[in-house]
């Protein structure tokens, strides 16, 4: 169980990461932050590319840092974006998160001022395919 204080720290880390987004094409900056199984926070931003399909989502950037520093589990996540509707992870990123997270993992969705929505991974990606299927 991840307490609300830690969840808010994740939101803050995602907001800071969003400031570093490289999104000259969409102009849509996103930040993400993850809590790993060592209690560490990992943040990432979206990184776009002139060859559009080569762009990388914020969640993927954060996962790269988590893995690079030895993390193997995601215990909680926050995603920050600014839009009319809450900026939830795209379908591909839901699956990316699933690789390292279980259904009960909380995912908070925030903008620059408030937390807009609370989900679990299982709500965002029900009946998912994961590493257990290959075990």
Residues near ligand THU (CB under 6 A) are 23, 26, 28, 30, 46, 48, 55, 57-59, 89-90, 93
Quick one: 85 or 132, whose CB is closer to ligand THU?
85
Residue 116, phi then psi, degrees to nearest 5: -90, -30
Least Å distance between CB 129 and ligand THU? Answer: 19
Quick one: 19 or 38, whose CB is closer to ligand THU?
19
Question: Mind giving me the DSSP string for 25-94?
Answer: TT----EEEEEETTS-EEEEE-B--SSGGG-B-HHHHHHHHHHHTT---EEEEEEE--SSS--PPPHHHH
Least Å distance between CB 18 and ligand THU? Answer: 9
Marked catalytic residue, from 48, 59, 99, 132: 59
Q: Catalytic residues, which ones? A: 59
């Amino acid at each position: 169980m991840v307490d609300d204080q830690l969840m808010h720290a994740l939101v803050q880390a995602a907001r800071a990461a969003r400031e570093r987004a490289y999104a000259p094409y969409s102009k849509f900056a996103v930040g993400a932050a993850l809590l790993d199984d060592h209690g560490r926070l990992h943040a990432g931003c979206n990184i776009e590319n002139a060859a559009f399909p080569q762009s990388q989502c914020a969640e993927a950037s954060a996962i790269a840092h988590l893995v690079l520093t030895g993390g193997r589990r995601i215990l909680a996540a926050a995603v920050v974006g600014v839009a009319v509707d809450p900026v939830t992870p795209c379908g591909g990123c839901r699956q990316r998160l699933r690789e390292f997270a279980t259904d009960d993992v909380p995912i908070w969705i925030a903008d620059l001022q408030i937390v807009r929505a609370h989900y679990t991974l299982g709500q965002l990606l029900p009946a998912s395919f994961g590493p257990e299927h290959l075990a």
